[in-house]
Amino acid sequence: MTKLAHAFNAFDNYNKKDPMYLHGVFLIRRNISAKRVLKLDPNVDEELLLASRSQHIGRWEIPVKLTLMIVKLI
């Protein structure tokens, strides 16, 4: 297993702790960003793939109210 595949596997395993995770549905949604990056540039650096794949890791741990407050600030 490559380092990148190992990292993706670790992200996926962590995200399986999401209380809303059901039969891989949320896991698939989280993988969409990395797939879009590859579609835009098949030769993209691993760093960008890691960033795109992990951007939502543990998102369920942040209270929705706090997330909405942060979004309003941006």
- Cut 0.75: pTM above it: no
Q: Measure the CA–CA gap between 26 and 16, rounded to whole angstroms.
A: 9
> Which residue range is the domain that position 52 belongs to?
3-73
Q: Measure the CA–CA gap between 38 and 49, rounded to whole angstroms.
A: 8
CA-CA-CA-CA dihedral for 47, 31, 1, 6, to nearest 10: 70
Number of independent structural domains in the chain? 1
pLDDT at 32 over 90: no
pLDDT at 27 over 90: no
Q: Measure the CA–CA gap between 67 and 25, rounded to whole angstroms.
A: 22
pLDDT of residue 20: 72
